[in-house]
Amino acid sequence: MSGHSTYEPKTGIERWLDVRLPILRFANDTVVTFPTPKNLNYWYTFGGILALMLGIQIVTGIVLAMHYVPHVDMAFNSVQRIKRDVNYGWLIQGMHANGASMFFLAVYVHMFRGLYYGSYKAPREVLWILGCVIYLVMIITAFMGYVLPWGQMSFHGAVVITNLIGALPVVGPAITTWLWGGFAVDDATLNRFFSLHYLLPFVIAGVVALHIWALHVPGNSNPKGVEVKSEADTVPFHPYYTVKDGFAISVFLLLYAAFVFFAPDALGDAVNYVKANPLVTPAHIVPEWYLLPFYAILRALPNKLLGVIAMFGAIATLFVLPWLDTSKVRSMRYRPAIRLWYFIFFIDCIVLGFCGAHAPDDLVIPGVSGLQLGDANLNSFVWLSRFAATFYFAYFWVITPLMGLTETPLKVPESISEPVLSHPASAPMGAMASPEKRG
């Protein structure tokens, strides 16, 4: 899409097509000869995994839509019928349900990769923002998809999330009614969620196209964070990264298959095997695992509107990250000071996930009664999520800008190839300056 094209049509048909629709040239420049930094590690294979997962969700989803009935009286049974009676329905439904989890797993790895290697820094801000848009649309799509089987958790999850919007002053209630198409989550809601759940993955596919376009203008970043200086720093995408991505995809598919075949319900909630009943709320409402950290942030605040603002703020923060980071050094390999904070941030996200999975008043350390602080017990998940949510925001809004100004980064290599040849730590054993010192 950018730079020179090395494509040379070989046959007459290819030449004929090339001056009419240069689609083969495009494919060649994108996935065959595309010059790619030669030092990409396995953390860089998740983009390809994500593309595959999107494809799987679309294909399995279209098949499910052939058997699914979007009606409050029939939706639950139609999904059970798919699982039990439709030929291979168990497989296709299992792939779709677990596929969403795997999709999120991959996107989180992909995003944490971007955070660590500073992939969001100039000139890749637009690339990063498009990624954040994809993530946001993924969340909306997954949320609407989860409503479709019309189990208890589907229904009451939808009630809770749509009510969040009601927290907005003045317009909130009108928007909620508009979303519902009635006075409560009901048939109208289910139908429009189905329609949108079908549509949005194609929107994602469109944004992915932009995302990859924006990737191919500056090219990939890489673990060293230095830009490609010469052709010596790159290898053609094929066969080097098609094979590397292919291997990573195979390993990833093993994990995916383990869930689909051996533990298809492990990631779901048993309560969703009970048909939706608007008159009885399950004792404990929790979203799917991949949304738990945001749910914890929502509940951390005692005020409904503030909770909603904090939750959306947690996602909005990602969009502005390129302008919060004041450091010119891209990769955290050369930023030991912030690297520590980065790992704490990672753990913080997991802690938030735990908080989201527990009832707010549950004790963090069982048996310790703890002391009352403000409206809740200090040993309860409410307070833990408050601390963790504070750290979440502090990491982006305080630590990231301050570290860039105060830290002393390590020496950044001149080029991608340079440290391979001269840096003792990364040189092969035989080339060690004084190998005898290595016991």
Partner 1 sequence: MADTVVGATPDPHASGEDPSRRDFIHIAAGAAAIGAVGGLVWPLIDQMNPAGDTLALASIEFDLGKVEPGQQVVVKWRGKPLFVRHRTPAQIAAAIKDDHADLRDPQTDEERHKAGKAEWLILVGTCTHLGCVPTVGGGDYGGWFCPCHGSVYDTSGRIRKGPAPKNLEVPTYAFLSDSKIKVG
298: which 2 tokens? Answer: 């929502």
The CB-of-198 to ligand HEM minimum distance in angstroms stands at: 17
Q: Which is nearer to partner 1, 2 or 195 (CB)?
A: 195
Question: Which does residue 163 touch among ligand HEM, partner 1, none (CB within 5 to 8 A, set by kind)?
Answer: partner 1
By CB under 8 A, the residues from 155 to 174 that bind partner 1 are: 156, 159-164, 166
Q: Is 50 one of the binding residues for ligand HEM (CB under 6 A)?
A: yes
Neighbours of 245 (CB within 10 A): 22
C-alpha closest to that of 97 among 159, 151, 162, 161: 151
Q: Which is nearer to partner 1, 27 or 280 (CB)?
A: 280
User: How far apart (Å, rounded) are the C-alpha atoms in residues 10 and 16?
Assistant: 10
Q: Is 285 one of the binding residues for ligand HEM (CB under 6 A)?
A: no
Interface stretch with partner 1, choices 60-68, 145-153, 282-290, 397-405 (CB under 8 A): 282-290
Q: How many residues bind ligand HEM (CB under 6 A)?
A: 29
Neighbours of 127 (CB within 10 A): 23
Q: Is 321 one of the binding residues for ligand HEM (CB under 6 A)?
A: no
- Residue 182 sits at φ, ψ, to 5 deg, of 180, -155
Q: Which is nearer to ligand HEM, 79 or 107 (CB)?
A: 107
Sequence-ordered alpha helix ranges (H) in 117-183: 125-147, 152-165, 172-180
Among 133, 285, 420, 427, binds partner 1 (CB under 8 A): 285
CB 40 within 8 A of CB 119: no
Q: Is 204 one of the binding residues for ligand HEM (CB under 6 A)?
A: yes
Q: Is 299 one of the binding residues for partner 1 (CB under 8 A)?
A: yes
Write the DSSP string, 398-414.
Answer: IIHHHHHHH--PPPPPS
What are the CA-CA distances from residue 45 to residues 42, 242, 425 (Å)? Answer: 5, 10, 25
Instruction: Give SS3 for 234.
Output: strand
Task: Count Cβ neighbours within 10 Å for each residue of 392-424 and write b for 16 or more, e otherwise.
Answer: beebbeebbeebbeebebeebbebbbebbeeee
- Amino acid at site 65: A
The CB-of-117 to ligand HEM minimum distance in angstroms stands at: 6
Question: Which does residue 392 touch among ligand HEM, partner 1, none (CB within 5 to 8 A, set by kind)?
Answer: none
Among 171, 280, 316, 347, binds partner 1 (CB under 8 A): 280
Question: Which does residue 159 touch among partner 1, ligand HEM, none (CB within 5 to 8 A, set by kind)?
Answer: partner 1
Q: Which is nearer to partner 1, 132 or 190 (CB)?
A: 190
The CB-of-166 to partner 1 minimum distance in angstroms stands at: 8
Instruction: Give SS3 for 151.
Output: strand
Q: Is 361 one of the binding residues for partner 1 (CB under 8 A)?
A: yes
- Residue 178 sits at φ, ψ, to 5 deg, of -65, -45
Interface stretch with ligand HEM, choices 21-29, 50-58, 167-175, 393-401 (CB under 6 A): 50-58
Q: Is 111 one of the binding residues for ligand HEM (CB under 6 A)?
A: yes
Among 50, 100, 179, 276, binds partner 1 (CB under 8 A): 179
Q: Is 360 one of the binding residues for partner 1 (CB under 8 A)?
A: yes
Q: Which is nearer to partner 1, 375 or 436 (CB)?
A: 375
Interface stretch with ligand HEM, choices 55-63, 161-169, 194-202, 214-222 (CB under 6 A): 214-222
Q: Is 271 one of the binding residues for partner 1 (CB under 8 A)?
A: no
Q: SS in 3 state form for 285-353?
A: CCCCHHHHHHHHHHHHCCCHHHHHHHHHHHHHHHHHHHHHCCCCCCCHHHCHHHHHHHHHHHHHHHHHH
User: How far apart (Å, rounded) are the C-alpha atoms in residues 146 and 136?
Assistant: 16
Among 47, 268, 307, 353, binds ligand HEM (CB under 6 A): 47
User: How far apart (Å, rounded) are the C-alpha atoms in residues 103 and 53?
Assistant: 6
Binding site for partner 1 (CB under 8 A): 156, 159-164, 166, 177-186, 188, 192, 278-285, 299, 302-304, 307, 359-361
Binding site for ligand HEM (CB under 6 A): 44, 46-48, 50-51, 54, 107, 110-111, 114, 117, 119-120, 124, 127-128, 131-132, 134-135, 204, 208, 211-212, 215, 220-221, 318
